[in-house]
Structure 1
């Protein structure tokens, strides 16, 4: 299992802190049941860190007419909304919620040129909250896909306190390239043209880089 580069520091620090904590318990209590429980708890925590920052090998199912899932998770919103930050029109919003058990890498859902990027500081409402797309810390990214602007947002959640985004205005990207990483629970929203043919439903679990969210 590969570890994503955004997790190198946290995983390494976690290993040392857990090792020190277990060593202190063993020196204090000796090889007792308490020591074994502490070691087991440390192993569980370290295993969680490894799993959270995993970076799976996946084949990108590129399709110029398709919008691919930008993240692993569960579809929590599919509805028509007015997008007022950049697009200034009615769109179809599709939101993917990532629990702490999902892969937290984000990918570009379409290929094209990054025409807009903005970081918004904000609150840390639960990522499934309807207002988190407007109130929480987030990034907004627009990709010009063959003349069609596709906006998507990385949104911090209650536990997520750091959004990493690699997007830069003016750069050309491929469908399935990494957008960034959100640490410890979050959401990604996509805003699509009103006439897009949506291929997912609320409650459906999707896989980033592979599940088709919509077609143009």
Structure 2
């Protein structure tokens, strides 16, 4: 897939948009053709999937998503019992790459779908109130949880990993359509390398060291 800059999930949408735009153009229906070509461009932008490769050492936890860091704090998580953990939240807007990548090499222990609402993803209560999907990943250095959180518009969470599957760091494992956020839960001992407001790139930017 690294040879193709578009996620495979986007090809049907792009093909449909291009087909309709081409038909409208061939028929000379310019008032319809122009917006259809614009839709095709937006679809291509939304589903783009550029190749990424991290040069960080193996103890580095890399960003699972493109976007802006909106939260760096301490909290708890039911899949990481025993006390507080580090939380780093990355907010994706509609113009960011929406393919999600494994922050750490490891084996998927569990994938948990948690029903909920669809509040704006930047609301403080969104991580616990919204529909979300937890991926529990057992790495060599640490066990972490990556949570895909639905939002007001982003209501389609996709996770392509299953329990027992081994993921390489930076490997594509899911997508949230039309934005939203990813929450990364790390051991309290993790050394955070980012701060709120910082832009990060999936598969490249170092979030923490464990």
Cα gap change, 1:120 to 1:45, in 2 (>3 Å):
same
Q: Distance in 2 between matches of 1:16 and 1:136?
A: 36
TM superposition shift of 1:15: 2.8
Of the structure 1 ranges 91-100 and 135-144, higher mean CA displacement relative to structure 2 is found in: 135-144
Match of 1:205 in 2: 199
Q: Distance in 2 between matches of 1:108 and 1:132?
A: 22
Contact 1:117 1:139 in 2 (8 A): yes
Gaps of 5+ in 2: none
TM superposition shift of 1:131: 1.6
Q: Secondary structure at the match of 1:109?
A: coil
Match of 2:148 in 1: 154
Gaps of 5+ in 1: 27-34
Match of 2:88 in 1: 94
Contact 2:20 2:36 in 1 (8 A): no
Q: Distance in 1 between matches of 2:141 and 2:27?
A: 61
> What's the RMSD between the two structures over aligned residues?
1.9
Match of 1:194 in 2: 188
| Structure 1 residues 135-158: Cα deviation after superposition (integer angstroms, max 9, x where no partner) | 222110111112621011011121
Larger Rg: 1
| Structure 1 residues 64-83: Cα deviation after superposition (integer angstroms, max 9, x where no partner) | 21100001100011011122
Say whether residues 1:6 and 2:14 are aligned partners: no
Which aligned pairs between 1:128-207 and structure 2 lie closer than 5 A? 128-146=122-140, 148-207=142-201
- Between the two proteins, the alignment pairs up a number of residues equal to 206
Which aligned pairs between 1:56-67 and structure 2 lie closer than 5 A? 56-67=50-61
TM-score of the superposed pair, with normalisation by structure 1: 0.88
TM-score of the superposed pair, with normalisation by structure 2: 0.90
Q: Secondary structure at the match of 1:39?
A: helix
Q: Distance in 1 between matches of 2:21 and 2:116?
A: 32
Match of 1:76 in 2: 70
